[in-house]
Structure 1
Amino acid sequence: MQIHDDTVRVGLHSGQQYRTFPEALELWQRAEELGFDWVSLFDHFRPPLGGPAGPCFEGLTLLSALAARTTRIRCAVLVSAVTWRHPALAAAAAATVDHVSGGRLEFGIGAAGPDLAYEQYGIPFPSAGTRLDMLDEACRVMRGLWTGESSTFDGKHFRLTDAHLEPKPLQRRLPLVIGGEGRKRTLRVVAEHADIWNTLAGTPDAYRATLSSLEGHCAAVGRDPRDIRKSVTFRAVLGEDAREARERAEELRRRIGNDSPDWSEYVVVGTPEQCVERLRPYLALGVRDFLLGARPPVDWRSCELFARHVAPALRAG
């Protein structure tokens, strides 16, 4: 795959809050059948959504199993928390999944956010500044192991001494996705290391301002911002007509409640045509990856309408 081409891709971001493996597998295989280009998990251990005892499979082991049971679709984690694993272990896991998938992995990494596992499992949760330092070092460690014969690294948080990783990923350059939109530090890390930058869609005006900050960081490090693929994640409730969409949104509201944090991620409750119009401004801003959130229970109606009507319109430009 050529990361830096102008092809528009559409995908599903599913997470892994399922109770059985067949449920997770169904989404990945149906996503492939529906013609999506990408499907991803997250890398929470105990995500706040769903409560302290909610179901959640471990991300990278599930990713490997799902990659082995698909054939075409790009397989991703969006994103792995830098606090969970030493980056050499993350790099080795990523290289393994790239082989399992036949070279279809896109590996996301971020500075970590809220997760009940820090308290439940006693995992340290450093300050935001420390986590961002760790993220910068982790990107350097992972890329070095993926590309060099051996790697030595002496950072504040991670150290490698004549370290080897074999076999290397199948892809000549395994795509590194960095998630986040912190304008001072996170976007600096994106400018230096990311092949793909992912963030929530928000509003076009807010996205434009964040993109401007990224372009400033790219100028500072001497990188062309066009070399970083732009990716947005969002949610939508779709229906053949506005009435159907409203009724389905009301059903969702009764199920998840008015105070669910998910509501801020919905870009549209409406028809596929309205969804296209809501997303077109991002095309003009250079976004080429559009990832529809699909947490369980999966809204198959919206997924199918998106695949049949919204995706072709976005790909046509």
Structure 2
Amino acid sequence: MLRFGVHSGQQYQDFDACLTLWQRAEEWGYDWASIFDHYRPPLGGPAGPCFDGPTLLSALAVRTSRIRCAMLVSAVTWRHPAVAASIAATVDHVSGGRLEFGVGAGGPDLGYDQYGIPFPDTRTRLDMLDEACEVMRGLWTRESVDFTGRHFRLSGARLEPKPVQARLPLVIGGGGEKRTLRVVARHADVWNTLITDLPVYRRKLDVLAGHCAEIGRDMDEIRPSITFRAVLAADERRVGLRRDERLAMLPTGSSDLKEYLTFGTPEQLVADLLPYVRLGVKDFLLGLRPPVDWETMRLFAERVVPALHEAEASTVHG
């Protein structure tokens, strides 16, 4: 079944702003809400606001009751995977078994320079990601873990209590075809990436299928997920105004622009997302950043989600 969510981030000036967004997402019927795990993200400049990821996620989880609570994603550069595994298990208990924990190789973050945190080269970070996934899954599921890798070492390591969920969903973010998708094939329950053109996304699915075939894993065990942005208006008359309002908030040449799939009506967004449904995408995450576009968030929940559920049903039964 399709799931729909909001990727809220945490670049807000106060906790109440984050909490309001998450509670409204739950009230409006969303299946998922997620934050990221940056320390100093580029948006907002070197002094921009950003709450700590794991502690904020735990607080939001305890103040919601139904929605899936996700980290999308935690960079392996921030903390040892045994520490990350312990954090995830704790948040799974706090949330009553609603956590989906995302990891990735890490990307640009002003925190590396500001805080003096090491930022290894891409190849090293991908090696760390592969090892980290093995370490976390082992600690979540086995009584004792011994592990000797190039970057991490565990000796008789234990983690109690285990997560509430028998298999805590591990989300892996990224789209690199040679290395990242191989890690996805080995470890992921959910594969998330920013939206790309359909031919590019189709090729990545084919590459992932090839990696799965090489290791003997059923690709149906991995849930494809995309994050995108949109600006919606209730009717055609307001589309131009709404587009101009949002673009005026973005810095000139903002990298966020490529993440916007649709500036239009809910029906236009449905048409733009349907091809991804047909390719097998299961999770659609609406990216939001302050100031929150409540109109788009509401229209997505009220008019896009039901239409895509109906399209999925007709595909299954057709």
Does residue 122 of the first structure (1) align with residue 116 of the second (2)? yes
Structure 2 matches for 1:80-159, cutoff 5 A? 80-159=74-153
Look up the equivalent residue of 1:195 and give its one-letter code: D
Return the alpha-carbon distance in structure 1 between the equivalents of residues 186 and 8 of structure 2. 28
Look up the equivalent residue of 1:231 and give its one-letter code: S
Q: In the alignment, what sits opposite 1:3? A: none
Question: How far did residue 315 of structure 1 move?
Answer: 1.6
Q: In the alignment, what sits opposite 1:58? A: 52
Q: In the alignment, what sits opposite 1:246? A: 240
Q: In the alignment, what sits opposite 1:297? A: 291
Look up the equivalent residue of 2:218 and give its one-letter code: D
Question: How far did residue 68 of structure 1 move?
Answer: 0.3
Does residue 178 of the first structure (1) align with residue 163 of the second (2)? no
Return the alpha-carbon distance in structure 2 between the equivalents of residues 97 and 137 of structure 1. 22
Secondary structure class of the residue paired with 1:287: coil
Deviation digits for residues 265-291 of structure 1 (CA, Å, limit 9, x no counterpart) = 000000000000000001111001000
Look up the equivalent residue of 1:310 and give its one-letter code: V
Greater mean deviation of Cα atoms: 251-260 or 182-191: 251-260
Return the alpha-carbon distance in structure 1 between the equivalents of residues 157 and 134 of structure 2. 13
Deviation digits for residues 176-201 of structure 1 (CA, Å, limit 9, x no counterpart) = 00000000000000000000000011
Does residue 273 of the first structure (1) align with residue 290 of the second (2)? no
Look up the equivalent residue of 2:253 and give its one-letter code: D
Look up the equivalent residue of 2:172 and give its one-letter code: I
Return the alpha-carbon distance in structure 1 between the equivalents of residues 254 and 238 of structure 2. 22
Q: In the alignment, what sits opposite 1:32? A: 26
Q: In the alignment, what sits opposite 2:198? A: 204
Question: How far did residue 216 of structure 1 move?
Answer: 0.8
Return the alpha-carbon distance in structure 2 between the equivalents of residues 225 and 141 of structure 1. 22
Which residue, out of 157, 172, 195, partners 2:189? 195
Runs (5+) with no aligned partner, structure 2: 313-318
Q: In the alignment, what sits opposite 1:307? A: 301
Return the alpha-carbon distance in structure 2 between the equivalents of residues 107 and 246 of structure 1. 38
Question: How far did residue 237 of structure 1 move?
Answer: 0.3
Return the alpha-carbon distance in structure 2 between the equivalents of residues 284 and 221 of structure 1. 26
Q: In the alignment, what sits opposite 2:226? A: 232
Does residue 282 of the first structure (1) align with residue 272 of the second (2)? no
Identity of aligned residues (%): 67
Name the count of aligned residue pairs. 311
RMSD value, Cα:
0.7
Look up the equivalent residue of 2:292 and give its one-letter code: V
Deviation digits for residues 1-20 of structure 1 (CA, Å, limit 9, x no counterpart) = xxxxxx10000001000110
Return the alpha-carbon distance in structure 2 between the equivalents of residues 245 and 36 of structure 1. 24
Deviation digits for residues 83-124 of structure 1 (CA, Å, limit 9, x no counterpart) = 001000000000000000000000000000000000000000
Greater mean deviation of Cα atoms: 238-247 or 304-313: 238-247
Q: In the alignment, what sits opposite 1:257? A: 251
Question: How far did residue 242 of structure 1 move?
Answer: 2.4
Look up the equivalent residue of 2:208 and give its one-letter code: L
Q: In the alignment, what sits opposite 2:316? A: none
Look up the equivalent residue of 2:79 and give its one-letter code: R
Return the alpha-carbon distance in structure 1 between the equivalents of residues 47 and 251 of structure 2. 19
Look up the equivalent residue of 1:233 and give its one-letter code: T
Does residue 9 of the first structure (1) align with residue 3 of the second (2)? yes
